[in-house]
Amino acid sequence: MEGQIRKIVGKKGTSWSVSIFLGRDAKGKRQFHYKTVKGTKAKAQAYCRKKLRELDTTGTLFEPTDLTLDKYLDKWLEAAAKPKLTPLTFQHYKDILDRYVRPVFGEMKLCRIQTLDVQKLYSEMQERGLSARIVRYTHAVLSSSFKMAIKWQLLQQNPCANAELPRKERSEMQAMTPEQAAKFLTEAQSDRFGVLFNVAVIAGLRPSEYFGLQWKDIDFNSGVLTVQRTLAWLRDGTWYFGEPKTSRSRRSIPLPQEIIDLLREHKRVQAEERIKAAKTYENRDLVFANSQGNPLMLHNLTVRHFRPILKRAGLPQTFRIYDLRHTCASLLLAAGENPKVVAERLGHSSVTITLDTYSHVLPTMQRSASDKLANMLFSKAVS
């Protein structure tokens, strides 16, 4: 590679023009890197040598940007993140950056942020009592933004790359016992959304999945429910239909006849509500909707329906609606169902996720496996 230095004499003093030959483009045109260096010739020569080494080592030249992290993140969110993310995930990205990153070094220049700064941020978050999950999520978002800065040739290295992260925490998960689940569903019979809770336990759906169910997703003849979309709420009170979490989340689940009968009755009652509400009813074909046909909100469903059912059933108030999904998986695994079948029912991307999440059920399964082997191998010998 070649570099040339040319003296420039101007009204403000002497400066030096550094030009470095970069090669030829696809059309054969010669490409150069130019930089004006103020001060002595030695300073210009040092700059030229540094850039030649950089070009020889990395194959590219990097010029520090004056962008602050705040301004860069604004550009990254709008140009790179927003087109790829769902509205809800985009909101989560923005919230994480606004809450934890921007207040700490948002005013720093992007090119000045070092791994030490990032490590200090993570340490301070932990000292404030924030969970490992929040710290690791912040890292994922921030690191993603820096990776794009490298692609845009605004950074040479990712300051997040060598930062140490807190160890993943095993999330606390609750599942009802068969007796508890039976009590819960018995008390749910008198609730407006009793059928919803039955579907949650039997089908193991995520809340966003049963909120997004439409009547066209229920095949009453074959007794099959199909998950084709999710429903998500944003902080501004708007909602949208989104894609299922993973490709495996788009799935069909056979339902027992008891649930199909409950859904038929639920549809009949909903039709009466629609007629009663007349023009004020928003017919969105939702299986589970409020009295005006609008989507349900998780908080309202929890406070007005789920917790009162728990109380009437004498069950711990620590159970969450999401634990109905855990209950479905735990009961199936404890009953000896094939983990792959359970994974498919839950819409997990792999059976490994299912086994890792519900490892508390494995000891019981291992005991059952040992008993089955003993029966096969030793019962005949004894007789």
pTM: 0.75
Instruction: Going from the first residue of the chain to its last (383 residues), give the mean pLDDT of each consecutive group of 10, the final group possibly shorter.
Output: 82 85 81 84 88 75 80 96 95 97 95 95 96 96 95 88 89 86 96 97 96 97 96 94 91 96 96 91 95 95 98 96 95 89 93 83 68 73 51
Q: What is the pLDDT of residue 341?
A: 94
Cβ within 8 Å of residue 334, ≥6 positions away: 361, 364, 365
Q: What is the pLDDT of residue 181?
A: 96
Residues of the chain with CATH 1.10.443.10: 178-365
Q: What is the pLDDT of residue 64?
A: 66
Residues paired with 34 in a beta bridge: 19
Residue 194: CB atoms within 10 A of its CB come to 18
Length of the chain: 383
Q: What is the pLDDT of residue 371?
A: 74
Coil, strand or helix at 17: strand
Sign of the Cα pseudo-torsion (276, 277, 283, 288, in order): negative
Q: What is the pLDDT of residue 290?
A: 94
**CATH placement of domain 69-151:** 1.10.150.130
Q: What is the pLDDT of residue 56?
A: 77
d(CA 143, CA 319) in angstroms, rounded, equals 35
* Beta carbons of 294 and 287 less than 8 angstroms apart: no
> What phi and psi, each to the nearest 5 degrees, are found at residue 352?
-60, -40
Residues of the chain with CATH 1.10.150.130: 69-151
Rg for the chain, CA atoms, rounded: 30
Residue 69, CA distances (Å) to 151, 193, 217, 289 in order: 16, 47, 46, 43
CATH architecture of the domain 178-365 equals: Orthogonal Bundle (1.10)
Residue 209: CB atoms within 10 A of its CB come to 26
Edge-to-edge strand list for the sheet holding 3-10: 3-10, 13-24, 30-38
